[in-house]
Structures are given as C-alpha cells and as structure tokens.
A and B are shown apart, each in its own frame.
Chain A
Amino acid sequence: MREVIRLESVKKYYEVRSGLLGSKTLKALDGVTLSVGMRETVSVVGESGCGKSTLGRVSIRLLDVTSGRVLFKGVDISKMKEEELREQSFRKKMQIIFQDPYSSLNPFMRLGEIVAEPLEIHGYGKEEIRESVSRALEDVKLVPPEEFVNRYPHELSGGQRQRVNIARALVLGPEYIVADEPVSMIDASSRAEILLLLKSIRDQRGMGVLYITHDIATARYVSERIAVMYLGEIAETGLTTSVLKTPIHPYTILLLNSVPEPDPNNRRRRRLVIKGEPPSPLNPPSGCKFHTRCPIAMERCRAERPVLREYLPGHFAACHRAEEIISGAVSVA
C-alpha cells in the first residue's frame, strides 16, 4: 500500500512557563513514528492530553515539528515554507475536521458559502466552485444540494453540521484528512451516520484518514490500523483486529477494560480500572512512562524506556514484559 503520510521520530516540544523565572519543556510528542496509507484509516486513541490533536496537527503542518520528519507521499514537508506548501498544492491535499460542529461554522454564512469558501480562497472559477460544492454536498448526503446551499448553520442538527464540515474539507480534493474527534459532540443516534459516511467517502475518493478519538469502540468500525498513545508516545500499534483481540501493552488492556457495554450482566460489578490519572507531561515518569500506573511494573520499567517492537504480525508494542503477557506468563487484568 502506498503511504500518503509518514511521520518519522516526530517530536513536538513546548516551552511553558513554570514558577516565576523558570521554564519547562512539555513533550507533547516524544518521538512518534506512524504512517497512513492511501485508502487507509488509522485511529489514534488515548486519554485527553496524551498528544492526539498535536499529532494530527503536526501531520498536516498546522504545527511545526521540533524534530523529526513529516513526509507527504515521500516528500519531506516538515520544514517547507508556507508559500511552497501552497504552490505545490500540499495545503489543498491535507485537510482537517474538528471536534465541535457548533462553533466551527460561521453562523452568518449560508451553507453554500461555507463550503465554497476554501475554493474561493484558492482562486477557483464560479462554475468549478458550483460543481465541487454540489459534489461535496452529495458526498456527505446533504441532498438535494440546492435545498441545503441556502440554509444557515442554526437550521441544522449537530450531525448535519458535522457533515457540512466534512463537505468543506472535501471540496479541495484532499488526499489526506485528519478527523479530530469528529463525533464526540454529536448525539449517539447520529454518530454511526458520520462514521460510516467518512468511511464510504474515503473508499470513493481513495484518501488516507487519521481518525482521532478517545472512544476506542468506534475505532473498530472505521480503521484498518490503530495507534494507542500514552503521554506523547505510541504504546501500541497494529492492525485494529489484532490490537482489539490480542492487546499487548498493559495500558491498552486496561483501557479496553474501562469501556462499558450495554450488558446488564456487568451491572454493579466493579471494573478493574487504571489507578490514578495520567502524570503531567511536564514531569513524565522515567523509563516506561506508564510504570506509575502499571500493575505489573518491575524495576527495569522504572529505569529503561521500552522501544516499540513487533510481537505479532504488523502489531507493535513498547513494553518490557510484552513476551510474558503474550505467553500468558503474567496477566494484567
């Protein structure tokens, strides 16, 4: 499969003020390597603050990297100047859909204008704009388009607004889309609609999609691969089926354990949970960053940072005890 996006050892550090004089380094991304293929969706999951949005933004150069490389179809765009990104059409080819369908649309613009805006900015002609807008609205099932172009955002449900956001991201014909928690603010009854839509559009248009979510259950339906992040690092990554069926990293195992299911047999049963909260990224633990919450941490975990290794076909984890976990010699949950 051809890659559309590849991040290589990407670090994104922020200098944040702490105390009166000092400043500290916040490692939002601490050496992330990840790729997304054409016609592929990769899910990025993890708790809030673990670096998911930063990863998404870095991957389309909405943020600059501190170090490492970002390749779009093999071309390193990580240090490219803004004019060059535009001239070589990288800006058109990479788009993002944000979480909040309510604040992301200008309330005073009609849908037609909202969806057409990116095309106008890029200097397209009238006829072309009309066609692209119609096609995008059809793709997101706001049909017939003529009926929707004159509406205002407040006349739409949350799900419909999010479809407008998707249409807007589609008009420039992107090859890579970052969807940053696109359904977390939408009613449960409409979520599946948006997710299935994203998948069918991806198939039609052959795009690569980075799907960011804190809801690992949704990852199953949209993505071929999954990456589990913890404190700016990838703890585990692999084929979605493999990761969900045979999670290796203790964090993934416990994360999966936390997800409730509509099954009354679990009623009132205490869940085995991850203790405590994620540590501050300003002061991350030594060695394996998960060791402070890991039920099977050993001395080595405190001292030495585990590297991502392939334990099952296409399935990587960064844990010193991965082999014991896989063999069943030690159990996490």
Chain B
Amino acid sequence: MSMALSVEGLKVYYNTEKGAVRAVDDVSFDLARGESLAVVGESGSGKSTLGLSLIRALPKNATVVSGRVFIDGEETLSLSLQDFRRRYSWKVISMVFQGAMNSLNPVLKVGDQVAEPLIYSGSADKDEARRRAMDIIEMVGLPREFYHRYPHELSGGMRQRVAIAMSLVMNPKILILDEPTSALDVTIQAQIMNLVKDLMERLGLSVIFITHDLALASDIADRIMVMYGGQIMELGSIERVIGEAPKHPYTEKLLASIPRLRSEGIPEFIPGRPPDLSSPPPGCRFHPRCPYAFDKCKSEEPPLFNVGGGHLSKCWLHGE
C-alpha cells in the first residue's frame, strides 16, 4: 500500500532582495496512513514553508525549485493549480494555518466560514452545508448554535476549534496543523491537544503536527522530524529520538533547553543564533553552534545517516 504522503528532494526558495532564501532545502520524508509526524524546529527553520508547499498554498514570492510530492501515490506538484485545488485541497489534504484563529473573517458567522468550502466546491447545497458544518462544529467540541456566532464573540481556544472545524469539513485524510496551540494558555492548549488526539482516532487522519515545542511533539507524534535551517537534522520514531536519546547534536541541545517540571537538572541553552537562509554556512548548517563540530563539519555537508531502525541523523559524528 502506498504512503499517505511522500516527499522527495523538496526545495522551496523565497525570492527576496537579499537573494534566494533557502527556506526548505532538500527535504524528503514519508507519512504513513494514520500516522502522526511532528515537525519540530525553531522559528525560521522552514516548518510553515514545508506545510504550505504540500497544500500548494505558498506565497507568491516562493518557488518550488525542485522535488516531488506524492499523495496517495500520485505526484501532485506537477498538477495544474486548478487541478490540485479541485481534486486535493480540503478533500484529501488540508491545513490549519499558523495563526488561523486570529485570521477568521470578522464579519462572517463562524458557521458560514466552516461551510464555505462545501458550497464553494459545489459538493453541498446551502441547507446540507449548514447541517454538515454544525455536525463538524459539534465534533470539535462546540455547541451547534455556535454556527451563528461571530469570531469576536469567541475566546482564542474556541476560535482555534473553529479553525480546526474548517479544515475538516471536506473529510480530508491528511491534516497539517501549524502551531495550533502556541498562542494559547497551557490549560487551553491541553484541551486542544486532547481534541486533536480524539479527531485522529475517530477520523483515522494522517497528521503533520508543526510545533517549536518538543514536549508537545512527544505528546502526540509517532515520529518526529527535527528541522534546522531549512533541512532535516533528525528523523525517527518518538521512542527512539526522545524516549531513548537524540542522535543529532541539535536535537540533543534543543531537548536540554526545555525547562522540566517533573525532573531535575537545569536547562541549557544553545549559544548563537539560527543561520541566515540567504547565505547559510557551508558544511553542516549547525556547525557554528555545535559543541562537537570538527574540521569536516565546516566544509562538507553531512548526509542523513541511517543510525538504525529507520532513524536518520544528519551529522558527521556518525561516520564518513
């Protein structure tokens, strides 16, 4: 059986006055059916760009330089945008955008916004669309009457539920969630995480969960993909990467920087700052901040080494 999603050698650059910003720079991975993959990285590491490229919703100044994206076995980057929208957007793959809860249309009832893709695609008439939207609104844990509310009448957590409802209204199989809880209090965050877990189970979704928070990633994901400077640094099952120990120095340091509530030890920090993606450092992109860097790291880019059991790590420490 084919993967829900397969990405091969994807490169997405932004055209800016400083030159090309290499936001996603040679990224390959698979997403199995029913699997959840967490994409983790600091601000600017290319997480959103990756998500947007999968649903063909990149901003105008972005270019897919190379790569292929297979959904259910069919290559989708070569489809015309029109074709892609008609056949895939919302129905097969959809996304809860970063900051979605703050970009709902203020003058439209939230229910009408949830129902919009149904009407727009012609897959339901008005009454049917409304009924279906109410079902989804209920499924994400809000009362059906919320259909008639306006965004400003809802709290942040409720608006995030609406954004999730919008993404689900056409029954997609693959859902990308981009930082769905980062603007929320931990109490509300925990509620939304429970909701996402419920929905994954009930709907059998394949999920890409984008977050900067390793703790949230290990709360939900089967596998984790750690990005830095537009590239995958480490990719593996959550048990191996977080449960046992990270193999890549960046993941190791990122994990050590998390303040822990329930265990001893003082959080560390990574000196320096992430690379400027219009002129990334040669060799390993993490080398200027890496405590283990040696000569080779400064000049040659390491490949993704297979360190066992499908666990990948892009670091020269693993060998030649």
| Chain A positions 248 through 286: 1 when the CB is less than 8 Å from some CB of chain B, otherwise 0 | 000000111111111111111011011001000000000
Task: Name, among B259, B267, B274, the residue most crowded by chain A CB atoms within 10 Å (CB to CB).
Answer: B259
Residues from chain B with Cβ under 8 Å of A259 in the complex: 186, 215, 261
Most A C-beta atoms less than 10 A away, residue of B185, B197, B214: B185
Enumerate chain B residues within 8 angstroms of A220, measured Cβ to Cβ. 259-261
Which of A5-13, A209-217, A309-317 contacts its partner?
A209-217
Interface: B28 (CB within 8 A)? no
Smallest CB separation, B201 vs chain A (Å): 8
Stretch at the interface among B55-63, B237-245, B290-298: B237-245
Q: Number of residues in A with C-beta < 8 Å to the partner?
A: 43
Q: A193-B269, A214-B186 are in contact. Are A187 and B43 (CB under 8 A)?
A: yes
* A18 close to B (CB within 8 Å): no
- Contacting residues of chain B (187-221) with chain A, CB-CB under 8 angstroms: 187-191, 193-194, 197-198, 200, 212-221
Output the nearest chain B residue to A194 by Cβ-Cβ distance.
B269
Determine if A255 and B187 form an interchain contact, defined as CB atoms under 8 angstroms apart. yes
Which residues from 212 to 268 on chain B have a C-beta closer than 8 Å to any C-beta of chain A? 212-222, 238-239, 242-243, 253-255, 257-263, 266-268
* Chain A residues whose CB sits within 8 angstroms of the CB of B214 once the complex forms: 188, 262
Contact B213 A188 (CB under 8 A): yes
For B186, the chain A residues whose CB sits under 8 A away are: 214-216, 255, 258-260
Q: Are B157 and A277 in contact (CB under 8 A)?
A: yes
Cβ-defined partner of B185 (8 Å) among A214, A217, A270: A214
Assess whether A48 is interfacial by the CB under 8 Å rule: yes
**Contact at B273–A159, with CB atoms within 8 Å?**
yes
In the complex, whether A124 has a CB less than 8 A from a CB of chain B is: no
Are B197 and A270 neighbours in the complex by a CB distance under 8 Å?
A: yes
User: Is B194's CB under 8 angstroms from A273's CB?
Assistant: yes
**Complex Cα distance A189/B212, Å?**
10
Alpha-carbon distance between A266 and B42 when the two chains are bound, in angstroms: 23
> In whole angstroms, how far apart are the Cα atoms of A271 and B158 in the complex?
18
Pair A262/B218 contact, Cβ less than 8 Å: yes
Q: Which of B198, B200, B253, B261 is in CB contact (< 8 Å) with A261?
A: B261
Instruction: Please indicate the chain B residues that have their CB under 8 angstroms from the CB of A110 in the complex.
Output: none
- Max chain B Cβ within 10 angstroms of own Cβ: one of A158, A215, A268: A268
Q: At the interface, yes or no: A221 with Cβ under 8 Å from chain B? A: yes
Min CB distance, B2 to chain A, in Å? Answer: 25
Q: How far is the CA of A218 from the CA of B261 in the complex (A)?
A: 8
Identify A221's interface contact among B200, B254, B267, B273, CB under 8 A: B267
Contact B259 A268 (CB under 8 A): no
CA gap between A259 and B220 in the complex, in Å: 14
- Bound-state CA distance A218–B191 (Å) is 21
Q: How far is the CB of A230 from chain B (nearest CB, A)?
A: 11
Please judge, given known A-B contacts A215-B259, A260-B213, whether A196 and B191 are in contact too, CB under 8 Å.
Answer: no
Q: Given A159-B273, A188-B257, A215-B259 in contact, is the A260-B43 Cβ separation under 8 Å? A: no
Q: Does B270 contact A (CB under 8 A)?
A: yes
Q: A221-B266, A277-B155 are in contact. Are A264 and B259 (CB under 8 A)?
A: no
When C-beta atoms are compared, the residue in chain B nearest to A193 turns out to be B269
B261 pairs with A192, CB closer than 8 A: no
Cβ contacts under 8 Å, B262 to chain A: 261
User: A47, A261, A266: which has the most chain B beta carbons within 10 Å?
Assistant: A261
Contact B190 A273 (CB under 8 A): yes
Known: A221-B266, A264-B243. 19 other contacts (CB 8 A): A47-B185, A47-B188, A48-B185, A187-B212, A187-B274, A188-B214, A188-B254, A191-B267, A215-B259, A217-B259, A220-B261, A256-B261, A260-B186, A262-B215, A262-B242, A263-B243, A267-B238, A268-B200, A274-B191
Chain A contacts to B: CB under 8 angstroms: 47-48, 157-160, 187-193, 195-196, 214-218, 220-221, 244, 254-268, 270-271, 273-274, 277
Binding site for A on B (CB under 8 A): 42-43, 155, 157-158, 185-191, 193-194, 197-198, 200, 212-222, 238-239, 242-243, 253-255, 257-263, 266-271, 273-274
Q: 21 A–B contact pairs at CB < 8 A?
A: A47-B188, A188-B257, A192-B257, A192-B259, A193-B271, A215-B186, A217-B261, A256-B261, A258-B186, A259-B215, A262-B214, A262-B218, A263-B243, A264-B218, A266-B218, A267-B222, A268-B219, A270-B198, A274-B187, A274-B190, A277-B155
